[in-house]
Amino acid sequence: MKKLSKYSFGIGDRFAHQGEAQLSALVKAAQLGVEFTPVWNKSNREHTTIGSHPVDIRNEADRAVKKVGWQGDYFVDADHINRSNVDWFIESSDFFTLDVADFIGKKVDPKELKNFMDQNEKYIGQLKIPGIAEPFEISRDLLKQIAEKFLFAVKEASLIYKYIAEKKGQGTFIPEVSMDEVEEAQTPLELFFILSALSFYNLPAQTIAPKFTGRFNKGVDYVGDTAFFKKEFGQDLLVLDFAIKEFNLPENLKLSIHSGSDKFSIYPIMGELIKKYDKGIHIKTAGTTWLEEVIGLALADDDSLQLVKKIYIEALNKIEELSAPYATVIDINFEQLPTESEVKDWSASKFANSLRHIPDHQDYNSSFRQLMHVAYKLAANMSNTYTDALKKHSKIVGDQVCTNIYERHIKRLL
């Protein structure tokens, strides 16, 4: 049976060129005694935008593992899939992120609702979870409200899971349940009953991605109350630990942090708490790799610098089209975006420093970074021009990718 390790890292790659560089960062971590399982992730949306196929990511992962000599487990994630597109990923993937955020709030059959309520009736009153000082107060109405909000979504995840299991075989893949791309965060108490619902529908998820309080915008730091996040995240870990025993869920079930790249202000918090409670974590990144490619090309030579400037200038003119699919996970301040004429005059270092995520650097521009994050479609439209540049400058680009994952992410977390 396939089993995800305690620590895992989702190393998304838009253009499937940075597998070796990404894996090299995890090799460095292993040399310091911290072992992460690599999970190459790419969503249906990204494949559709780029014109790639799930098998491309499988091939990239296999090549990188062979070239680097990686001896541990590794997986390929069908990221944010649903019943309408899962078939495309069946053959190439062995990790499936079951995205059911769109089903939150839909109602299940009244008999199923009653059965779930009856099964969880014992928690009405005061629910005391070891490690959490204050007990949760649960009324029948609150239990029903939570069930009506999340039960249908978990049922949908279970149907996708069972469909994949019929096609691939039980235990041959890692199931993750995702509810993160929504406006309203799930509370620790809601998470408890979501986990109860996983058991109710016999879904052996190994990771779960709830929506946490605060903004998890693509490619930039966490925005929110870090003290409250620390309290909530700690409670989530304790809820998870209790629920695993209470509902007979997989013992390695852990939290997954979607849009987890670059959330530097909460990395030390998460690192402290997973150590304190001896829990695992799955960090998902994707667009960060594409941004590091752009930084590497900006520094490589003048032709490549002009290429990435061209991408930005076109993105500036197509900002609404590019931003629309990511509306819930970006916050671009239009007034902070450099103009076309300004960027044309930028040096290589100015472009790289404006894009590279070093928040206290005088040139760093989070709005510029977020717009470039969603502009990968424009690079894909350049035929082979962009990918040829990646091949030509693979060394400098790879160095940016590896350094970003290892120095800015893994070392901050653990």
Domain membership flag for residue 225: yes
The verdict on 30 and 63 lying in the same domain is: yes
359 residue type, one letter = P
Within-domain flag for 1: no
Are 219 and 307 within one domain?
no
Residues 229 and 315 in one domain: no
34 with 155, same domain: the answer is yes
* Residue 198 confidence (pLDDT) above 70: yes
pLDDT digits (tens, 9 = 90+) for 290-347: 999 999 999 999 999 999 999 999 999 999 999 998 888 899 999 999 999 999 999 9
Least confident of 11-15, 32-36, 157-161, 284-288: 284-288
What is the distance between the alpha carbons of residues 377 and 380, in angstroms, rounded to a whole number? 5
Q: What range defines the domain where residue 199 resides?
A: 7-108+146-287
CA-closest candidate to residue 292, choices 380, 407, 399: 399
Which of the listed residues 229, 257, 287 is the one where a domain comes to its end? 287
Residue 43: inside a domain, yes or no?
A: yes
Q: Are 209 and 178 in contact (CB under 8 A)?
A: yes
Q: DSSP for 9-41, please give it.
A: EEE--TTS--HHHHHHHHHHHHHTT---EEEEE
**CA 142 to chain CA mean position, Å:** 30
Q: What's the pTM value of the predicted model, to 2 decimals?
A: 0.96
Domain count, the chain: 2
pLDDT for the residue 63:
97
What is the model's pLDDT at position 70? 97
Please say which residue of 241, 272, 287 terminates a domain. 287
**Which of 154, 231, 151 is CA-nearest to residue 188?**
231
**Residue 260 and residue 283 in contact, taking contact as beta carbons nearer than 8 Å:** yes
The tens digit of pLDDT for each residue in 233-257 reads: 999 999 999 999 999 999 999 999 9
Q: Which residues pair with 211 in a beta bridge?
A: none
Q: Is residue 127 part of a domain?
A: no
**Based on the domain organization, do 295 and 334 belong to the same domain?**
yes
* 213, part of any domain: yes
For residues 63 and 177, state if they share a domain: yes
Same domain, yes or no: 280 and 352: no
Q: How many CB atoms sit inside 10 A of residue 402's CB? A: 21
Residues 360 and 277 reside in one and the same domain: no
Q: What is the CA angle 325-188-148, rounded to 5?
A: 70
Residue 287: closest CA among 340, 363, 357: 357
